[in-house]
């Protein structure tokens, strides 16, 4: 029964008044970011879990795109997306005389027209502002949550253009349950929030470039998806994000239905400026593995050579491994179709992917007549899969190892609800990845019940001259299993935590070694019996760091004297427990956003005191300056610092010929000023000897020299 809802039309024209005139398929598309653990990605409310290298009109796409570790600038996601295909029974005959199958996905990549626009669209009731709703971002939530899941969709392009939705009056009214504490529609029982960070979106199919028969309008499968992402800070699960796709058949029976996930990982993704297929770099030399037991498709770089975000050689051990593990499928059939295909080959070939929906369905979802599947079981064996394990390098055809994992085919009945659950998982080595995948599988089997470490410390940082002081309270000690504190420092925005790491038997860094550790003087010391990488401490007690404020409250203070002025440091004070017979030892993870207050991670820049009486302490740091100094963390970044400055002054820089290179007005009130090593015409200067003159007004003048080495 087709009904024109006045309320739906009202929502469309009031929330998006230009929508009726503008048929842009992205008008309800929104993005947000998972960023609380070691794996970060921007995702859409149209079932696209990352969008990396192949966006035809956007550079550099949508970073972070499966960035691992968070803050490293190394992205691995080309595109990961929900996919579904099948045949609408109601379209048999005149509406679809060739009985073509439909193929719908959230993919957005490449110049191929079938992959350009998204095939899902959010309901306007869920769109408020410019971001997909997330549990820790209340401003992204709608003004009020709908009481029930919508029971209407759009069946054709004519319906979309005429704002003519179809309601299925036979569908039950399913309530959207909210967490009693936060008001968030959580993934747990009774709407309880399960993860530290969750996303929530509801979409319906709408394919703006769908194939159509002569004389007919575009059509698509009549389904609705309820999509959730879940991420935890807990160290055991910090390398993964879980994705739940609940699929509702909103109309007639769908025959030969397959539901799955499309994966395009690149090691490292080629929208980095120094590599990739498009720039003649290293982006097209990846390898693919299939682990049938784990239901896991994963990969890494083929030859262990890439370039980092600064254009330097990236050591092989820093190139991540990553993939997607399928945890639950419709009808509990597991992955019954696995199609691996190389993006460097031509479209529309029997063993590759087609440019039309029916070909994508036939070749990639159903995976029939594929020479890479010689036994015809729907699971590809080669040449792109597991070649490295057999050392058959001469037969290995590397490129972009795209793949689709799907469940089916089956008949999806009217009103049927099916669920697909996957996790995107990363690790620093094959062993690390597989261990993390096993942790993801175990957490799923535990119904996402995650043990908790002690409450995090609330840390403050005080910058000094050549030192940083950390202070925190005793909040963590409310946990009966609390044991101590570990202090970590990062010089690269949290990508790594110090220079020293505990390693596995292959030398792969696994766990950072803290700068300092303090623990209770009790029965717990040395290495944990349950985890050989977990060190309880040496019964130091807290007397060395314990202080008392003027109200008699205990707090802790630790001073780092090993810092360099004007360098950005990040500190993480981890609280940890000793565990018991049921719970293993746990440590509070670092926060990814150190700007937030009342958490255990802070960012600070030590600096010399302001010059208030004289200018004798003015220095150039580093001197001599060398390109790609350690403190330059971004691509192409060049900077040196003038330190020990007064609150306001003028800095003039001259070459050896006495010509002024540039003039810098220092007015920010700090004791330092950065210079980007460019002249007044914004050109990078030549190497050599330079002189500076600082005019401090009433404080006098200071001159000096420095060397630039390029």
**For position 115, what pLDDT does the model report?**
54
State the Cα angle at 270 between 264 and 271, rounded to 5°.
105
Q: What is the pLDDT of residues 150-197, one digit of tens each?
A: 999 998 888 888 888 999 999 999 999 999 999 999 999 999 999 999
The helix (run of H) or strand (run of E) holding residue 160 is: helix 157-161
The helix (run of H) or strand (run of E) holding residue 12 is: helix 6-15
Q: What is the pLDDT of residues 419-437, one digit of tens each?
A: 999 999 999 999 999 999 9
Q: What is the pLDDT of residues 599-614, one digit of tens each?
A: 999 999 998 888 888 8
State the Cα angle at 591 between 500 and 265, rounded to 5°.
80
Q: What is the pLDDT of residues 386-406, one digit of tens each?
A: 655 544 444 444 556 789 999
CB 121 within 8 A of CB 28: yes
| Bond preceding residue 332 cis, omega within 30 of 0 | no
Q: Check the CA dihedral 187-189-192-194 and report its sign.
A: negative
How far is residue 491 from each of residues 166, 473, 499, measured CA to CA in Å?
56, 25, 9
Q: For all residues of the chain together, what is the average pLDDT? A: 85
Calpha distance 147→167 (Å, rounded): 16
Calpha distance 705→682 (Å, rounded): 21
Radius of gyration of the chain measured on its C-alpha atoms: 29
Of the candidates 71, 54, 51, 48, which has an alpha carbon nearest to the alpha carbon of residue 62?
Answer: 51
Of the candidates 14, 9, 107, 102, which has an alpha carbon nearest to the alpha carbon of residue 55?
Answer: 107
Please state the rounded mean pLDDT for residues 354-372. 83
**For position 347, what pLDDT does the model report?**
47
Sequence-ordered list of residues with C-beta below 8 angstroms from that of 122, at least 6 positions apart, any chain: 28, 29, 30, 45, 46, 201, 202, 203
**For position 15, what pLDDT does the model report?**
38
Percentage of the chain beyond pLDDT 70 is 84
CATH architecture of 619-709: Sandwich (2.60)
Categorize the per-residue pLDDT at 198 as very low, low, confident or very high, splitting at 50, 70 and 90: very high
Q: What is the pLDDT of residues 527-544, one digit of tens each?
A: 998 888 899 999 999 999
Calpha distance 89→221 (Å, rounded): 10
Q: What is the pLDDT of residues 77-130, one digit of tens each?
A: 888 999 999 999 988 888 888 888 998 888 775 544 445 556 899 999 999 889
**For position 278, what pLDDT does the model report?**
36
Beta bridge partners of 643: 619, 672
**For position 360, what pLDDT does the model report?**
85
**For position 270, what pLDDT does the model report?**
59
* DSSP, res 611: P
User: Please, what's the b/e burial string for 113-127 (b: 16 or more CB within 10 A of its CB; e: otherwise)?
Assistant: ebbbbbbbbbbbbbb
CB 458 within 8 A of CB 473: yes
**For position 157, what pLDDT does the model report?**
84
User: H helices then E strands: how many in the chain?
Assistant: 4, 38
Burial class (CB in 10 A: 0-12, 13-18, 19+), 280: exposed
Give the residue, 660 or 276, on which the prediction is more confident.
660
* 366 has a pLDDT exceeding 50: yes
Q: What is the pLDDT of residues 239-271, one digit of tens each?
A: 999 999 999 999 999 999 999 999 988 888 755
Calpha distance 430→54 (Å, rounded): 26
**For position 474, what pLDDT does the model report?**
96
Burial class (CB in 10 A: 0-12, 13-18, 19+), 35: buried
- The two domains 459-604 and 619-709 share their CATH topology (first three levels equal): yes
Please state the rounded mean pLDDT for residues 635-659. 88
Of the candidates 612, 582, 676, which has an alpha carbon nearest to the alpha carbon of residue 638?
Answer: 676
pTM over 0.85: no
CB 365 within 8 A of CB 256: no
Coil/strand/helix, residue 290: strand
Calpha distance 593→570 (Å, rounded): 10
CB 553 within 8 A of CB 576: no
How far is residue 443 from each of residues 8, 231, 297, measured CA to CA in Å?
39, 12, 19
Which CATH number does the domain 459-604 belong to among 2.60.120, 1.10.4100, 1.10.246, 2.60.40? 2.60.40
Categorize the per-residue pLDDT at 341 as very low, low, confident or very high, splitting at 50, 70 and 90: confident
Q: Check the CA dihedral 636-642-648-652 and report its sign.
A: negative
**For position 7, what pLDDT does the model report?**
37
Q: Domain residue spans in the chain?
A: 6-445, 459-604, 619-709
């Amino acid at each position: 029964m087709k009904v024109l809802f006045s309320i739906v039309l009202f929502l469309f024209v009031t929330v998006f008044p230009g929508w009726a005139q503008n048929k842009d398929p992205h008008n309800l598309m929104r993005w947000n970011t998972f960023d609380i653990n070691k794996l970060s990605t921007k995702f859409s409310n149209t079932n696209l879990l990352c969008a990396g290298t192949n966006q035809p009109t956007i550079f550099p796409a949508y970073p972070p795109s499966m960035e691992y570790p968070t803050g490293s600038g190394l992205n691995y996601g080309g595109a990961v997306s929900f996919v579904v295909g099948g045949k609408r029974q109601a379209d048999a005959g005149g509406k679809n005389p060739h009985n073509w199958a439909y193929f719908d996905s959230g993919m957005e990549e490449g110049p191929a027209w079938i992959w350009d626009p998204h095939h899902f669209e959010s309901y306007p009731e869920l769109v408020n502002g410019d971001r997909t709703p997330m549990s820790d971002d209340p401003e992204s939530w709608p003004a009020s949550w709908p009481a029930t899941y919508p029971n209407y969709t759009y069946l054709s392009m004519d319906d979309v253009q005429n704002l003519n939705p179809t309601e299925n009056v036979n569908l039950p009214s399913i309530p959207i349950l909210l967490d009693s504490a936060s008001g968030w529609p959580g993934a747990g029982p009774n709407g309880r929030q399960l993860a530290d960070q969750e996303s929530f979106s509801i979409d319906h199919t709408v394919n703006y470039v769908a194939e159509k028969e002569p004389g007919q309008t575009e059509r698509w499968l009549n389904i609705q998806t309820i999509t959730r992402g879940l991420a935890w800070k807990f160290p055991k699960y910090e390398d993964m994000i879980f994705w739940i796709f609940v699929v509702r058949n909103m109309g007639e029976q769908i025959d030969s239905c397959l539901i799955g996930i499309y994966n395009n990982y690149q090691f490292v993704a080629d929208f980095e400026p120094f590599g990739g297929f498009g720039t003649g770099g290293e982006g097209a030399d990846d390898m693919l593995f299939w682990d049938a037991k784990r239901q896991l498709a994963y990969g890494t770089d083929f030859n262990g050579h890439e370039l980092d975000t600064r254009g330097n050689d990236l050591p092989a051990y820093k190139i991540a491994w990553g993939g997607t593990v399928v945890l639950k499928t419709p009808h509990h059939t597991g992955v019954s179709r696995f199609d691996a295909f190389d993006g460097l080959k031509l479209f529309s070939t029997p063993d590759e992917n087609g440019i039309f929906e029916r070909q994508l369905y036939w070749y990639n979802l159903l995976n029939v007549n594929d020479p890479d599947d010689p036994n015809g079981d729907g699971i590809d064996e080669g040449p792109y899969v597991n070649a490295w394990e057999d050392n058959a390098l001469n037969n290995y055809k590397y490129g972009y190892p795209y793949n689709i994992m799907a469940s089916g085919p089956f008949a999806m009945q009217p009103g049927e609800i099916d669920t697909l659950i996957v996790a995107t998982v990363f690790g620093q080595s094959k062993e690390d990845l597989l261990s993390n995948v096993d942790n993801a599988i175990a957490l799923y089997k535990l119904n996402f019940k995650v043990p908790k470490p002690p409450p995090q410390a609330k840390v403050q940082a005080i910058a000094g001259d050549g030192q940083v002081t950390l202070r925190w309270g005793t909040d963590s000690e409310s946990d009966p299993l609390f044991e101590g504190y570990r202090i970590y420092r990062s010089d690269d925005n949290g990508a790594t935590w110090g220079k020293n790491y505990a390693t596995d038997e292959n030398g792969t860094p696994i766990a950072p070694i803290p700068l300092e550790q303090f623990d209770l003087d009790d029965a717990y010391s040395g290495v944990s019996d349950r985890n050989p990488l977990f060190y309880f401490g040496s019964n130091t007690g807290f007397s060395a760091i314990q202080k008392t404020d003027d109200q008699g409250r205990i707090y802790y203070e630790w001073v780092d004297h090993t810092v360099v002025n004007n360098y950005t440091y990040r500190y993480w004070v981890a609280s940890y427990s000793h565990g018991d017979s049921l719970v293993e030892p746990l440590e509070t993870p670092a926060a990814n956003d150190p700007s937030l207050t009342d958490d255990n991670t802070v960012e600070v820049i030590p600096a010399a005191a302001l010059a208030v009486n004289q200018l004798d302490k003015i220095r150039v740091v580093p001197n001599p300056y060398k390109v790609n100094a350690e403190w330059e963390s971004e691509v192409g970044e060049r900077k040196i610092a003038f330190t020990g400055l007064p609150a306001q002054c003028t800095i003039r820089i001259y070459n050896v010929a006495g010509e002024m290179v540039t003039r810098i007005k220092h007015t920010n009130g700090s004791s330092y000023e950065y210079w980007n090593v460019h002249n007044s015409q914004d050109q990078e200067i030549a190497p050599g000897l330079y002189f500076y003159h600082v005019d401090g007004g009433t404080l006098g003048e200071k001159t000096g020299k420095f060397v630039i080495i390029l």
